[in-house]
Structure 1
Amino acid sequence: MQSLRVVQLYNNSLTGNIPSSLGNLTRLTILSLAANHLGGSIPEGIGNNPHLGFLQLAMNNLSGLLPLSLYNQSSLYGLCVMSNNLHGHLPTDMGRSLPRMQSFLFGVNQFTGVVPPSLSNMSVLQLFDVSSNEFGGVVPSALGALQELRWFSLTRNKFEAHNEQEWKFLTSLTNCSMLRHMSIEQNRFSGQLPTSLSNLSTNIQHLNIFNNSISGIIPSDIGNLIGLEVLVLAGNLLTGAIPESIGKLTQLKELYLSSNNLSGFIPSSIGNLTSLSRLGAGINSLEGPIPSSIGKLTKLSLLDISTNHLSGSIPNKIMLSSISIYLDLSYNLLEGPLPSEVGNLVNLGQLLLSGNQLSGKIPATIGGCVVLETLLLDRNSFQGNIPRSLKNIKGLTILNLTNNKLNGSIPGDLSSITSLQELHLAHNDLSGSIPELLGCSTSLLHLDISFNSLQGEIPKEGIFWNLTGLSIVGNNELCGGMPQLQLRKCQSSKKGLPKSPRIIVPTTGGILVLLAALPLVGFLYTKLKSGLRKELPSPQTTMSDLPMVSYNDILKATDGFSEANLLGKGRYGTVYKGTLENFVAAIKVFNLQQSGSYKSFQDECEALRRVRHRCLVKIITCCSSINHQGQDFRALVFELMPNGSLDHWIHPDIESQNSNRTLSLSQRLDIAVDLVDALNYLHNGCQPSIIHCDLKPSNILLTEDMRARVGDFGIARILNEVTSEASASSLSSIGIRGSIGYVAPGN
């Protein structure tokens, strides 16, 4: 073993400490234990090996100080300890004691102190990375001696430079002709940006000085760095204009200039950067028109020139189909119409045009942005109707048209956008009634229709029962709605028929077997009505009160809808066991290919929105999303009932784990009491009353302590507050509700 020369155990999930016995392998030249789960400190003996050339310990949980013997190991040419919890200072003579060092990678640790000037003695150093530590002070000024240097990163530390003397390290780096990557982002550099920046190697590909306090202008000869692919100057105090020479950087793929004090025009030469995929120049003081030459950037996926003083109209040429991440022109002085070519943005995720002076009609072609998730057109002067073509944007989650001059009615088609969570239409001149269909949206969390000219009765479903998510002020002709809105009652031309109490008890064969005697149920029910176990009606909840989860969350929770997690199947959906954020739940996934399943989802949401009772299965959240095939996806997440359904206890399968288990008399009585309690609440305790319509043993679930919970409201019927023959006849078209053998009276 002592003659062993190479030990490579990369990415093997090793745990524990590094064995000190490795120090006995005196012929070892390469030791790689990276990407494991090793902890503790690095054994001192490892640094005593006179032949060790490469030590790779990155991506572990190592802590403590790096052994001093390693800093004196003259044979080392590679030392990588990135992504650990190591700390300590670098020795002042480190550069002289490690003359063969090529790769010095100490990033993502807790090292402190300064980088010693002796670093310049590592004449063959190629990679130097101390990012994400606590290093500080001034960077050594003689780095130009590192003629082989390719990668130099000081990212996320506390290095400083305030004057020309302290910036000498940058000027010195211009002698490193092999330099490809330099990053000094997120430090404490300030003072004037040296003009020598433009004299760095023409081979440099990545230059990043993001988020410092650097002032001055961008060097006019920045175009000399013809090899640049990524240039990040954002988050500083730079002033002056964007140099025209920037158009010479034809290899540039990403350019970030945001959050500075840049002024002047955007140079038309920017159109020469035909490889550019991302351009960010927001939050500056740029002025003048948007150059139409941006239309030449056919690989552009992100364009952000927001929060400037840009004026003129939006060039139709910049509506590039390649833009997919976002297009942000918000908070400028842009005017005129939104080009109809906006429909070309078929791959766009976010379109942000807020805070301009745009006018005219919102073009109907905007419906061509079929994958748009966020559309912000607020604080402009758009006129005319809200285009109905918005319904084509199925994945839209936020639509903001606030503070415009829109008129006409609110299109009911907006309710067909099944992912819409926020709809802001305030401060316009919209009229007519509020579409009832908006109340049917199960995804809508915020609706602001304040300060318009809307009239008529407010719907009573969905978002219109969510006081925190609804704003309707400034519409003096609205009436009705939930009492907390304190609006006047609506005048009705119809006379309501007197209400008569209705108690509807479903006939369930399994329950009759369980109860054994109907008088017991009558006795229990009488006691409940007399107040022995009276439940006060619980406040209504809304689906928007519940936290939303995504399709990916549910896919992960159920292990890709694995058969191993299957709990049961029904006509409209399948129930899986899944783990969401460290709790186990029952997830009902609706089969939207089955006729009636979408309505079943809506009915169940509507019923669950109105009820809250200890004897009903508790809903945790819901999901209204799109799956990976672009199809609608609906699911409900319930509290998991550990003892399954009552059906499995009174009709067990021979192979079932419950085949030898029976219900005791006390358990049967408890279940009976819970069921009567639930029915009493549904029929008499909530307003309006709800008829379950499918009460049967398989829809009665049992808790850990064998108490009953009623579930599955997929075909439940919600009674109107004023029942009439007309409403009853309208329901008859639905057909008989229930399952064979379990049809409630009145159906």
Structure 2
Amino acid sequence: MLLLLYSLVSTVLAFTAAGASSRHDAAALLAFKAAAIGTGATALASWNGSAAGLCTTWEGVTCGRHGRVVSLRLPSLGLSGTLSPAIGDLPRLQTLDLCSNWLHGGIPASLGRLRHLQTLDLRVNTFSGELPGNLTACKNLKSLLLSSNRLTGRVPAELADALPLRLQVLYLNNNSFTGPLPASLSNLTSLRRLILGINGFEGPIPHDLGRDNWLRGSIPADIHVKLPRLQYLALFENLFSGTIPSSISNLTDLQGLELSKNGFSGFVPRDLGRLKSLWNLQLDGNSLQAGRTEGWEFMDSLTNCRWLKVLALSYNNFTGDLPASVASLSTTLEELYLVDLGISGSIPSDIGNLIGLKVLCLVNTSISGVIPESIGKLENLTKLYLDNNRLLGFIPSSVGNLTKLITLSAPNNNFGGSIPRHIGKLNSLTSLDFSWNYLNGSIPKEVFELQSLSSTLDLSHNSLSGPLPFEVGSLANLNTLSLSGNQLSGQVPTTIKNCIVLETLLLDSNSFQGSIPQPLGDIKGLRTVNLTMNKFSGAIPDSLGSIHNLQHLYIAHNNLSSPIPTDLQNLTSLSDLNLSFNDLQGEVPKEGIFSNMSYPSIAGNKHLCGGIPRLRLDPCSHPAPSKSNAVRLKYIRICLATTGALVFVASLVTTIMLLHRRPKQRQKSQPRALLTEEQYERVSYQELFDGTKGFSEQNLLGKGSYGTVYKCTSIDEGTVTAVKVFNLELSGSTRSFLAECEALRRVRHRCLIRIITCCSSIDRQGQEFKALVFEFMPHGSLNCWLHPTSDMPPVTNTTLSLTQRLDIAVDIVDALDYLHNHCQPPIVHCDLKPSNILLAEDMSARVGDLGISRILSENASKTHLNSTNSTMGIRGSIGYVAPEYGEGCAVSTLGDVYSLGILLLEMFTGRSPTDDVFRDSLDLHRFCEDAFPDRILEIADPTLWAHSDTNDGITRSRVQECLISVIGLGLSCSKHQPKERKPVADVAVEMHAIRDEAYLMFAGSLAIDMEGKAEAKTAQ
């Protein structure tokens, strides 16, 4: 009886104690809820305050057999408050899962009281502060998951010292941890996954992690001894450096090794193939090495990794031939990345053995040869990138077997022949890019029948000919259609209206004719239309004015006539419009895009009138000007160029000043080179003599290598021009005159010097006389703005703002892009520098001085470099001339890119490449490179700050961001090795993006009112 009574009392006491414990846990959870829900009032609604339902109805709560809380799982509930220290009052808690919420603040130290805790998952929140050191008390912890927060500081040494040996998973990735890794991490012998990516971990790593010392930030040589069960090691995107030790191959359980985007160097361990379980190997973004004689052994070894799925080797210092063993890698390989490497050779002929391949990325290398026919065996391939290589030959018809292909990209190679019709079998294809090759023949209609194409169809800059098939209307889902720079002809089919989601239509630089299709107005999503440099005639369709999303419309250099549709001024989204060099007539609208229009957008349309005052067109009430009259232009003073800088100028205006002509019969035997002079209305020596007051010093604008530039005022009309008089006593001056005539005869672009007329005559002494006449540019050369001779302090009226410099840079790049890529044949400028950049009344830029330019031959025009020596010696000016010219290399477009890079650096640092500070190994490129990107404001031109508040932290930050972009572009253009420089077409795209981004950032805060500036200059 007593025994029974004792049993009943014990049971009652146990239930009483359990009830008290439940109430204790409930109180802790309610305190947690109060802190965690933040603004999420609906979260944890089932936690009603009654301890009775704690273990049965409270969301995410699990209890053990004694009624105590053992698990709290609340992922993805939108919790937005803080983590209450009361969580430490759950003594039996084994699992705490709060991942994917918005919890912020610090991780409370009270977690160290949870002695039974096995899993702590706080991933994907916004926790900040340092890692609590007292987590060492959690002796049963198996998984510590803290990735994707805002944690900072170092990993405490005592934490790694005391973490339990049973810890299997440690995720600290995507935080802001810094400093070295504690040596005691190697004591975690049960560790299976160590994920530390995207932090600031660095060395020196403590030497007592293993038998051998660690190099700064390197992997320990005896990591296999300390972490024998490790299956996944991810150190990507940190500051680790040193070599990858060969002993890493002893981690035989390793399945994933991610070392991307660090500073590892040296050779890749040659026996990585011992990692038989390896499926993910990412070594990209380091300074690892391999060459022709050593370093590629690891690739042969990897053929033993029969489960390998991902291999990323991009952005390293690998050179030499691509090993043939690539084709012997595992058939399970799904992704292979070989980007921006110095490798050469050819694609292995057995590449088709990799039947599991889904992504093949072979981009920006020196790989040559043909695409092997066996590529057609890669039937699982979804993405094929072959951009910017030296591949040649025909595109194999076996490509048509890749029916799962989504992206096929192979621009900027040397492919020839026709586009295979078998591409029409690729019914999953969304993007096709064969631009910048040598493809010829007509475009197969099968390409336009690929209704899956939704992103891009880019066949631009080839030699494709024939009409545009009416099947183009089948591309109902296409976003971008680019056929620029071919030889396509005929009319644009009206079926193009069926491309209802088209946003970008680029048909420029072809031979399309007839009228611009009226149905373009039915494509309401169009944002960019470029139809320049064709043979379109007739009127501009009124329907274009109904495309309400249109942002960029270019229809220059055609044969269009009739008035400008007034509906275009109603397009509020339209930001760029170029109607130049047509035969448009009538009144220019004044609203919308036309309210801020500059003359280049309508230049070359001599029968236009009216418009806003800045266009300086005749009023529409006046009769159209006859050919014997000149437009009377009022200009302000020109900034004189410094001695030795050749300054000659050209206007934005396209109307020709016709002076009295002296007829001259051309002899049949006259050399063909002189025929270029007959392209222009001729002017007499006497008229130039009178207009310059006898070529007096008071009209001197500047002197150059081959001649002198004078200001010339027409006696009859009062029109101001600039005359470049050649010194024919100098060797090469006649050749310079003819070269400039020939170059200017070929070019028509708003950002290039435009010739008015020429003079080839006899002077008063009976000597031969040659001169070129250009229209006057009121703001002189870029050189005198960057390096003024006056000692006056910089003010807004005498210096260039950041946005002005960006606009000027865009104009320069556009001019160079036109010379290189839109002239047939291409033209290399050879002397790009600030004194050859002239500024118009609205401060837009014009590239001039084509006196030593080189017109490339048909074969050389598509070759960046060739081995023949230049017949003219080093071409260009000291400080701007490409280094390869000094080594005997031929003139190339990449030589101009080098000069452009130096010019960009000069424009935004204010330092000339010939400054005295640059000597020995220090030049302008190295000067900028050393400061890039952290000290970019230290090297910026101080006069930039005359246009903004230096004390405004936001402005300084935005200026810094912009300078990093544009100076970074200048550095990439001015690299020593030509093959490392960007082609100017890519530079143009990037420069426009930088300028547009700057406009968005500054929202007008740094913009200069050009009309106000002109008035201020006039007042001077």
Q: TM-score, with normalisation over the residues of structure 2?
A: 0.48
**1:243-282 mapped onto 2 (5 Å cutoff):** 243-282=372-411
Matches of 1:268 and 1:96, distance apart in 2: 53
One-letter amino acid of the structure 1 residue matched with residue 286 of structure 2: N
Other-structure match for 2:184: 69
Aligned equivalents of 1:95 and 1:115: distance in 2?
13
Indicate the residue corresponding to 2:471 in structure 1: 341
The structural deviation recorded for 1:395 is 1.2
2:126 alignment partner, SS class: coil
Q: CA deviation at 1:129?
A: 0.4
Distance 1:395 1:384 in 2: 24
Check if 1:418 corresponds to 2:548.
yes
| SS of residue in 2 equivalent to 1:120 | helix
Structure 1 residue 92: Cα displacement: 2.2
Offset from partner CA, 1:367-425 (integer Å, 9 cap, x none): 11111111000000001000010011111111000000110100111010001111111
Aligned amino acid, residue 368 of structure 2 = T
Aligned equivalents of 1:109, 1:310: Cα separation in 2: 44
Displacement of 1:25: 2.6
Shift of 1:142: 0.6
3-state SS of the aligned residue for 1:488?
coil
- Give the equivalent residue in structure 2 for 1:57: 172
Tell me the secondary structure at the aligned position of residue 197 of structure 1. helix
Separation (CA, whole Å) in 1 of partners of 2:392 and 2:471: 29
Trace 1:167-178 onto structure 2 (pairs within 5 A). Answer: 167-178=296-307
Q: Is the 8 A contact 1:223 1:247 kept in 2?
A: yes
Matched ranges for 1:226-375 at <5 A: 226-319=355-448, 320-375=450-505
SS of the residue 1:14 aligns to: strand
Structure 2, unpaired ranges of 5+: 1-113, 204-216, 624-953, 956-1002, 1005-1020
Q: CA deviation at 1:107?
A: 1.1
Question: In structure 1, what is the equivalent of residue 55 of structure 2?
Answer: none
Which of residues 341, 351, 364 in structure 2 aligns to 1:222? 351
**Aligned partner of residue 491 in structure 1, secondary structure:** coil
Partner of 1:25: 138
1:40 Cα deviation from its structure 2 partner: 1.2
Deviation at 1:470, TM superposition (A): 5.7
2:202 alignment partner, SS class: strand
Cα distance in structure 1, aligned partners of 2:467 and 2:530 = 17
Q: Which residue of 2 aligns with 1:9?
A: 122
Distance, in Å, in 1 between the alignment partners of 2:348 and 2:360 is 13
Q: Is the 8 A contact 2:327 2:354 kept in 1?
A: yes
Worse overlay, 284-293 or 416-425: 416-425
Equivalence for 2:13: none
Contact kept in structure 2, 1:463 and 1:469, CA below 8 Å: no
Counterpart Cα distance in 2 of 1:44 and 1:332: 62
| 4+ runs deviating over 6 angstroms | none
What corresponds to 2:974 in structure 1? none
Question: 2:460 touches 2:482 (CA, 8 Å); kept in 1?
Answer: yes
CA distance in 2 between partners of 1:357 and 1:55 (Å): 60
Which residue of the partner structure matches residue 263 of structure 2?
A: 134
Aligned residues of 1:22 and 1:45 also touching (Cα < 8 A): no
Q: Are the counterparts in 2 of residues 37 and 60 from structure 1 also a CA contact under 8 Å?
A: yes
Kindly tell me: are residues 6 and 308 of structure 1, through their superposed partners in 2, closer, same or farther at Cα, counting changes over 3 Å? same
Choose the corresponding residue for 1:452, options 573, 577, 582: 582
Q: Residue 96 of structure 1 contacts residue 118 of structure 1 at CA under 8 Å; is this kept in 2?
A: no
The alignment status of 1:187 with 2:302, answered yes or no, reads no
- CA separation in 1, counterparts of 2:119 and 2:331? 38
In structure 2, how many angstroms separate the alpha carbons of the residues matched to 1:447 and 1:15? 50
Tell me by how many angstroms 1:235 deviates.
1.2
> Could you say what secondary structure the match of 1:276 adopts?
coil
The 10-residue stretch of structure 1 (439-448 or 342-351) with the greater mean CA deviation from structure 2: 439-448
Q: Measure the CA separation in 2 of the matches of 1:263 and 1:7.
A: 56
1:387 matched to which residue of 2? Answer: 517
SS of match in other structure, 1:348: coil
User: What RMSD in Å do the two structures reach over aligned CA positions?
Assistant: 1.9
Partner of 1:147: 276
Following the alignment from structure 2 to structure 1, what is the Cα–Cα distance between the partners of residues 142 and 563? 80
For residues 130 and 501 of structure 2, the distance between their equivalents in structure 1, rounded to whole angstroms, comes to 50
Q: How far 1:198 sits from its partner (Å)? A: 0.2
Is 2:608 the partner of 1:478? yes
CA contact (8 A) 1:283 1:307 kept: yes
Which amino acid counterpart does residue 56 of structure 1 have in structure 2? Y
Q: Determine if contact 1:250/1:275 at 8 Å carries over to the other structure.
A: yes
- The AA in structure 1 aligned to 2:528 is I
Alignment pair present for 1:462 and 2:575:
no
The one-letter amino acid paired with 2:529 is L
Which residue number in structure 2 is paired with residue 157 of structure 1?
286
What amino acid does structure 2 have at the position aligned with 1:421? Q
* 1:34 corresponds to: 147
Measured in 1, the distance between the counterparts of 2:151 and 2:612 equals 60
Residue 306 of structure 1 deviates from its aligned partner by: 0.5
**Residue in structure 2 matched with residue 401 of structure 1 by the alignment:** 531
Deviations 1:492-534 (A, max 9, x none): 79xxxxxxxxxxxxxxxxxxxxxxxxxxxxxxxxxxxxxxxxx
In 1: Cα distance, 2:324 partner to 2:598 partner: 54
**C-alpha distance in structure 1 between counterparts of 2:283 and 2:565, whole Å:** 57
Q: Which amino acid is the alignment partner of residue 341 of structure 1?
A: E
Confirm or deny: 8 A CA contact 2:539 2:561 kept in the other structure: yes
Distance 1:349 1:295 in 2: 19
More strand by share: 1
Question: In the superposition, relative to structure 1, how do residues 469 and 28 fare at CA in structure 2: closer, same or farther (>3 Å)?
Answer: farther
Q: Distance in 2 between matches of 1:484 and 1:74?
A: 77
SS class of match (1:11) = coil
How far residue 84 of structure 1 moved from its aligned partner, in angstroms, is: 1.6
Q: What is the alpha-carbon distance in structure 1 between the residues aligned to residue 225 and residue 550 of structure 2? A: 63
Q: Which residue of 2 aligns with 1:720?
A: none
**7-16 or 205-214: bigger deviation:** 7-16
Report 1 or 2 for greater relative contact order, CA contacts < 8 Å, sequence distance ≥ 6.
1
- Correspondences of 1:204-215 after superposition (within 5 Å): 204-215=333-344
Separation in 1, partners of 2:382, 2:353: 16
- Contact 1:446 / 1:469 at 8 angstroms: preserved in 2? no
Amino acid at match of 2:153: G
* Greater helix fraction, Structure 1 or Structure 2: 2
Letter in 2 for 1:184: L
Aligned residue identity for 1:119: I
How many residue pairs get aligned? The number is 498
Kindly provide the amino acid, as one letter, of the partner of residue 223 in structure 2: M
Question: Match of 2:281, SS?
Answer: strand
7 and 490 in structure 1: CA distance in 2 versus 1, 3 angstrom threshold: closer
| Alpha-carbon distance in 1 for matches of 2:122, 2:597 | 59
Q: Give yes or no for the alignment of 1:93 onto 2:206.
A: no
CA distance in 1 between counterparts of 2:567 and 2:121 reads 64
Structure 1 residue 465: deviation in Å? 2.2
Aligned position for 2:45: none
> 5 Å matches for 1:528-567?
none
Q: Give how far 1:72 is off.
A: 4.1
Distance in 1 separating the partners of 2:116 and 2:580: 81
In the alignment, is residue 432 of structure 1 matched against residue 562 of structure 2?
A: yes
Counterpart AA for 1:209: L
**Normalization by structure 1: what TM-score?**
0.65
Question: How far did residue 35 of structure 1 move?
Answer: 2.1
CA distance in structure 1 between the partners assigned to 2:561 and 2:396 by the alignment: 45
Asked if structure 2 preserves the Cα contact closer than 8 Å seen for 1:24 and 1:45, the reply is no
Residues in 2 aligned to 1:161 and 1:186: alpha-carbon distance in whole angstroms: 12
Task: Return the alpha-carbon distance in structure 2 between the equivalents of residues 426 and 25 of structure 1.
Answer: 73
State the one-letter code of the partner of 2:312.
S
* Partner residue, 1:703: none
**What is the identity, as a one-letter code, of the residue corresponding to 2:241?**
T
